[in-house]
Amino acid sequence: MNNELEKIIQIFLVEAAEKLDEYSAELLVLEQTPTNKSSLKSMIRSIHTIKGSSGIFHSSVSEFEVDETFLLNIQKLTEISHVFEDLLVVFLEKEEIIPTPAQIELFFKTEEKYSTLITLLQSFSKETIGIDDIKKEISNELSIIQASSTTIQKEKALCFHIFLIENIKMKFATVTLLYKQLQNIFGEESISFSPTKEELKNLTDFDFITVHLHTTQTKEEISSLFKTKFSNVKHITFPEDSQQEESQEQEELLPQQETTKQPTTLTQPSYQTIKVSTDKINDVFKHVSNLVILENSLSNYVKEAKALTTTPTKDLIELSERITSTVKNLHDSIMKIRMTPLEEIFKRFPIDVRNISKELHKKIDLKIFGRETEIDKMLLDELPEPLMHIIRNSISHGIETEEERILANKPPKGTITLSAKHEDGFVIIEVMDDGKGIDVNRVVNKAIERNIITTAQAEKMSDTEKINLIFHSGLSTEEHVNRFSGRGVGMDIVSAVIKSLKGQIEVQSEKGKGTTSTIRLPLTLATIEALMTEINGESYAFPISQFKEVITYNPKTDIRYVNNQPILLLEEQDLKQEVTKQEIPIFCLRQFFNLPPEENHIEKEEQLAIIFQTGHQHVAITIDSYSDPKTIVMTNLGNFIGNIPGISGCSLQGDSSISLIVDINGILNHLQKQKRH
Amino acid sequence: MKNNFLNTSKHIIFQLKKEYYSISISFVERVIAINDEIKIRHIPNTKKEVIGVTNYQGQNIPLIDLQIKFKENNNNTTVEKFTSYDNNEFNSFYQYAILCKIEGETVGILVNEVISVKEAENIETMKDSTFKFSFFDESFIEGIWRTVVSKKTNVEDTNANEELIVVLNIFSLLNKNQQK
């Protein structure tokens, strides 16, 4: 495809998807607080932008040769936006009209249309969807509102400033009292203040109080109320009339600008940001990586020179050290740029959860924790689909219907908790539901039925192992296939994606109580701390994250065999002279990688091995020699070579040789498979 | 589309052991000499033809031996394979690597000699070739042509012989189901 065209399409689609995300987020707020006009305003702005850019997009794309359906889908975006914007604006213009639940439902329905159209455009699909229904519904709604709005007297949203009389004594106590009195008059629900009661405690002084109020009373009535009842109040002003129109006009001109005018709007904190394509950052990263390698060789060189008689000058040593620290800082900074909060993908989930649960007639509360947890952008981009799949499973299989829940003595509304945190250099993402849990026996029966395991194997498996059978392809316990899950593909794909990111996924479930899926991911795939070792004269790097210790054992006396698998008997004395005994399977990389055996391996009485730990599992991997851990830049071996079991990537060394990075999880998985078959 | 490169006439001719091959220069990124600075890393449990990986200007490039690839299915012929993990021995085994870009992937073809870049003429494509022998695996070969091969430039080479040159089907190198 034409390069320029591709670029235009990319820019448009990214923007449209972004605007739609903003729209949905605000819509969810509006659903909770229908009186929230600032959310409505943001929604209008998003739709306005989509309308504008889809129009421009249409005309610039039609210069190229593109599919007719593609153009039609763009046009549909513009068409919906036209009518929809008109409808939304009515709610904003007539402040007394508060959207009803049915109208909000229509807003959600429109969101779905947008979402479908954008997805169709993204995949250059030759399909399209009908939009006449939704357009009709929107314009019907619009005419109904316009007809009725003039007659009904409804609550109005008012905003005014209170100025206290000067030199007031005990200002804060007075204000607190004032708040209380006002709340009594208008009801706690319909009035809010800025500064709030909590904020007052931390303030030294303020000029005026801003009040937001929903009431049927008119401004004049309120003015007179203050004049007669509150002696401490000097006067009140209504800033809205003059400013509202002004600000609206400005927004027409600058639809992108954030509204910062009203001090009380609860907009998210806006950071100063620039958008940079990932390619460019990767480019910088590549150069920095090379610099790290060069710096490694420089400090090696200085070290060697120091050891030899050619003593380098003090300056050179100092300079080398300074370069080392600068390069480290540079590397850290670029890593920080790549780190992106999970919020970026989490923000999309509430609307999806709402739509799915609506369709399945289940009531669900989605709680999200740890949005700020950061992870490498490259990993982040792979996560939405597997996560959404797990959540979908929780809604359709996990959470029971309202009636079932009441019978089971549970709150009628199901809860799905999505949480993220950092732990030991990993990112842990958890999806937890309080549904009915996974029926272990059903999973096992299905697995036996489909010849995935034998009855004998099933008997030997632990509950966790049984539950984790759901990651096997072709295993879905839901008898009724529905739109969202139950096609039998999915969990195996989820597991494959997580594995490709060098992560792990585990499911725990308790019948009747719920299911928890835990995903463990490295913070980044780009750099890792690794222990450098040599096997057969070649360099292998072991990620330090699961490293426990390096040990020496005697192959002649310390090894026993179980089912042909060598097991190392370990006896260790700790500081308190207590002896702990451990049995650890030995994994021979030489054998696994088809390397020749060591020349003197029969007589050898001392063997080095590294012990790694994941969860409760240990494995000892034999090595020839090792050196200090260091930070290495991880790259992949390229598509031509593809995936090699036991190897997760490679790293360029200071002397321009390549070290292979060993994939401990991969090896543990391999050992587990051996066990099962 | 696939056969187009038969007609894009300029080919790079190279020698691997006793045999001559050519590929269209449109695939070739550059030719690098295998010297002390090119370090090769053996990769365990990968495709047979992958002798190893080298890092060239920040990029990891697999280096492959064509003859191992072509003859891996043919049990009758044994190919002398580089098995040592010593860099010095590697240098004496192959002299050049031709870096080719195929569908976005750079692959280095290990060769003993790079002969010349020449206008390829009269390529006999495999469809109408008279060669129909078992040793001739069509999936790797686009065609065959004859030309005088001279290793010397600008000088009249009296030893120059006419040689048979195999035109590689470069896409066969990427054939993913060839994976072990």
* B176 contacts in chain A (CB < 8 Å): 642
Name residue, tokens 């969101």: A111
Of A537, A646, A658, the CB nearest to B55: A658
Q: Are A131 and A80 in contact (CB under 8 A)?
A: yes
Residue B180 has what pLDDT? 34
Residue A488 has what pLDDT? 43
Residue A470 has what pLDDT? 83
* B44 contacts in chain A (CB < 8 Å): 592-595, 644, 646-647, 660
Half-sphere exposure of B21 (CA within 13 A, CB side): 22
Q: How far apart are CA A412 and CA A406, in angstroms?
A: 6
Report pLDDT digits (tens) over A122-134: 888 788 888 888 8
Does ipTM top 0.85? Answer: no
| A 610-669 → B contacts, CB under 8 A | 635-642, 644-647, 650, 652, 655-660
Residue B84 has what pLDDT? 57
Q: Which of A113-117, A311-315, B151-155 is predicted with the least confidence, judged by mean pLDDT?
A: B151-155
pLDDT band at B12 (very low <50, low <70, confident <90, very high): very high
Name the DSSP class of A155: -
Q: What is the 3-state secondary structure (H, E, C) of B90-102?
A: HHHHCCEEEEEEE
Report pLDDT digits (tens) over A79-110: 888 888 888 888 888 777 888 888 888 888 88
| B 32-71 → A contacts, CB under 8 A | 37, 39, 41-47, 50, 53-55, 58, 60-62
Mean pLDDT of chain A: 80
Cross-chain Cβ contact A647/B53 below 8 Å? no
Residue A278 has what pLDDT? 76
SS3 A581: strand
Cross-chain Cβ contact A639/B105 below 8 Å? yes
Stretch A574-587: mean pLDDT: 81
Residue B135 has what pLDDT? 58
Both tokens of B7, joined, read: 């007609």
Residue B134 has what pLDDT? 56
Q: Are A169 and A243 in contact (CB under 8 A)?
A: no
- The residue type found at A291 is L
pLDDT band at B32 (very low <50, low <70, confident <90, very high): very high
Q: Residue A648 is inside which H or E element, if any?
A: strand A647-652
Pick from A177, A245, A164, A279: nearest CA to A210: A164
Stretch A637-657: mean pLDDT: 84
Both tokens of A423, joined, read: 């732990």
Half-sphere exposure of A134 (CA within 13 A, CB side): 21
Residue B76 has what pLDDT? 52
Q: Are A509 and A468 in contact (CB under 8 A)?
A: no
Residue B55 has pLDDT above 90, yes or no: no
Report pLDDT digits (tens) over B67-98: 888 776 555 555 566 665 566 677 778 899 99
Residue A243 has pLDDT above 50, yes or no: no
Which site among B42, B59, B87 would you substitute to test the A interface, given the most A Cβ atoms closer than 10 Å to its Cβ?
B42
Residue B3 has what pLDDT? 47
Residue A307 has what pLDDT? 72
| Residue-wise DSSP of B34-100 | --TT---B--TTS-TTEEEEEEETTEEEEEE-HHHHHHTT-TT----------HHHHHHH--EEEEE
Residue A290 has pLDDT above 70, yes or no: yes
* B46 contacts in chain A (CB < 8 Å): 641-642, 644
Q: How far apart are CA A377 and CA A374, in angstroms?
A: 9
Stretch A178-196: mean pLDDT: 78
- B107 compared with A245, residue with greater pLDDT: B107
CB atoms within 10 A of CB A331: 20
Report pLDDT digits (tens) over A491-512: 878 888 888 787 888 888 888 8
Residue A261 has what pLDDT? 40
SS3 A560: strand
Q: How far apart are CA A65 and CA A200, in angstroms?
A: 62
Report pLDDT digits (tens) over A335-394: 788 888 898 889 888 888 888 888 888 888 999 999 888 888 888 888 988 898 899 888
Residue A621 has what pLDDT? 93
Residue A675 has what pLDDT? 53
Q: How far apart are CA A517 and CA A385, in angstroms?
A: 15
- A603 compared with B20, residue with greater pLDDT: B20
Stretch A533-558: mean pLDDT: 88
- B63 compared with A164, residue with greater pLDDT: B63
Residue A90 has what pLDDT? 83
Q: Are strands A647-652 and B50-56 parallel, antiparallel or unpaired?
A: unpaired
Size of interface A-B (CB pairs under 8 A): 72
Name the DSSP class of A142: H
Residue A405 has pLDDT above 80, yes or no: yes
Report pLDDT digits (tens) over A507-522: 888 888 899 999 988 8
Cross-chain Cβ contact B41/A640 below 8 Å? no
Residues B49, B50, B56, B60, CA torsion sign: positive
Q: How far apart are CA A434 and CA A414, in angstroms?
A: 6
Stretch B151-180: mean pLDDT: 68
Both tokens of A193, joined, read: 């203040």
SS3 B33: strand
Residue A515 has what pLDDT? 92
Q: How far apart are CA A612 and CA A87, in angstroms?
A: 62
φ, ψ for residue B156 (rounded to 5)?
A: -70, 120
- A6 compared with B152, residue with greater pLDDT: A6
Residue B178 has what pLDDT? 41
**B74 has a chain A CB within 8 A of its CB:** no
Residue A71 has pLDDT above 90, yes or no: no
